[in-house]
């Protein structure tokens, strides 16, 4: 149940990660990245191309901008560009920040996650690498923070702060500089006023002053969402704590993910269902795997295929996909088969399949 946020790294591609609930969801996008042949462009919610495929890679829109790559080589296993330069376009396809960056923080390959996948810009800042140095830039391309040679990774801003790794230790910055000195082996961004940090095998939650809010323990965890966080202590079952560290839902589940839209996925005897904040089973454990609810639907896996349920547990889109993400606005990203991405709407219609 350990959580990791997406991070940008120097000298490699990007680190991707995986489980638990991430930052609060941004406004739903109007445009969605697609691939035609070797080029990427964008469609609208009806599946119509509105920005002609012309980029080596196209990221998701956030805060009105999307990162795109020009001149990179995508002839690799993951299909992510090596080399080239990155810039940012608006929803009209015009470059607002010209291509100039070696890397940008972008989340292209998190298939099974409840992490917010809404693009590079968060709270008017995006993490980039330019001239071999990492920096946070604003939507007009100006740097607000620059880092020297010790910078290794960083996360997007959330709740006014961002976790950064400098000389192999994690701390936190605001838009003026370091506010919590790097001293942790690992850390997350802040969610609902708290961030988890690690030293060795022990985990704690800190407040925005860097003080311990929930003391050190050994076990699994995911970030706070809707006032609760799933936690397991040692090898025990999973339960949910509040922001004071008190168990509000006693440990009783084999695994759990964070709450979203009033429900949390929980695992009982190798099957997943959903509980509410009063620990009542709202949807009985019956699925092989699941993610959290988004826009009223949740992806579920049955006999190796993914579909979608509503908040009453009814299958509204039959299991048919190799991979499925949460709905983000009008569409959800799905894999029709391995290596073939598409989008499905809330009526279950596949409005787009990437074209060779």
Determine how many CB atoms are found less than 10 A away from the CB of residue 109: 14
CA dist list (Å): 144 to 61, 124, 134? 21, 10, 11
Place of tokens 């690992």: 186
Residue 25 pLDDT:
56
DSSP state of 228: B
pLDDT tens per residue across span 1-47: 444 333 333 433 222 222 334 445 567 779 999 999 999 999 999 99
pLDDT digits (tens, 9 = 90+) for 264-279: 999 999 999 999 999 9
Determine the pLDDT at residue 34.
97
Residue 294, pLDDT above cutoff 90: yes
| Residue 58: both structure tokens together | 């196209």
> What average pLDDT does the chain have?
88
Longest pairwise C-alpha distance within the chain: 53
Q: Could you tell me which residues come within 8 angstroms of residue 78 by beta carbon, excluding any fewer than 6 positions away?
A: 13, 109
Residue 149 scores a pLDDT above 90: no
Task: Answer for the pair 137, 126: CB distance below 8 angstroms, yes or no.
Answer: yes
- The enclosing H or E element of 177 equals strand 177-184
Q: For 138, how many CA atoms within 13 A lie in the half-sphere containing its CB?
A: 6
Residue 82 has what DSSP assignment?
B
CB atoms inside a 10 Å sphere around CB 119: 25
What pLDDT does residue 79 have?
Answer: 79
3 state SS of 342: strand
Question: If you average pLDDT over residues 289-299, what whole number do you get?
Answer: 97
pLDDT for 118: 60
Domains of the chain are 260-356 (2.40.128.630)
Evaluate if residue 116 carries a pLDDT over 80. Answer: no
Taking a C-beta distance cutoff of 8 angstroms, is the pair 325, 307 a contact? Answer: no
């Amino acid at each position: 149940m350990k959580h990791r946020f997406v991070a940008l790294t120097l000298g490699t591609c990007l680190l991707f990660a995986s489980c638990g609930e991430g930052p609060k969801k941004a406004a739903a996008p109007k445009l969605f990245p697609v691939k035609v042949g070797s080029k990427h462009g964008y469609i609208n919610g009806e599946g119509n191309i509105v920005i002609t495929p012309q980029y080596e890679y196209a990221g998701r829109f956030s805060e009105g901008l999307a990162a795109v790559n020009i001149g990179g080589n995508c002839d690799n296993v993951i299909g992510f560009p090596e080399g080239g330069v990155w810039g940012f376009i608006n929803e009209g396809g015009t470059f607002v920040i010209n291509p100039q960056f070696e890397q940008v923080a972008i989340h292209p390959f998190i298939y099974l996650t409840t992490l917010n996948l809404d693009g590079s810009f968060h709270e008017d800042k995006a993490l980039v690498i330019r001239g071999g140095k990492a920096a946070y830039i604003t939507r007009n391309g100006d740097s607000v923070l620059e880092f020297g040679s010790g910078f290794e990774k960083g996360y997007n801003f959330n709740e006014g702060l961002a976790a950064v790794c400098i000389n192999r230790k994690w701390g936190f910055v605001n838009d003026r500089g370091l506010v919590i000195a790097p001293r942790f082996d690992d850390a997350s961004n802040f969610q609902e006023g708290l961030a988890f940090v690690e030293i060795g095998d022990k985990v704690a939650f800190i407040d925005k002053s860097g003080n311990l809010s929930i003391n050190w323990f050994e076990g699994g965890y995911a970030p706070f969402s809707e006032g609760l966080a799933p936690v397991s202590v040692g090898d025990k079952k999973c339960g949910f704590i509040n922001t004071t560290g008190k168990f509000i839902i006693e440990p009783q589940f084999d695994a759990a993910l964070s709450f979203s839209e009033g429900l949390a996925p929980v695992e009982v005897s190798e099957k997943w269902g959903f509980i509410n904040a009063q620990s009542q089973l709202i949807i009985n454990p019956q699925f092989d795997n699941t993610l959290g609810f988004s826009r009223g639907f949740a992806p579920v896996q049955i006999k190796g295929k993914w579909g979608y349920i509503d908040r009453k547990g009814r299958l509204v889109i039959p299991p048919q996909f190799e991979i499925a993400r949460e709905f983000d606005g009008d569409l959800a990203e799905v894999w029709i088969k391995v290596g073939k991405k598409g989008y499905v709407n809330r009526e279950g219609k596949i409005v787009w399949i990437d074209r060779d």
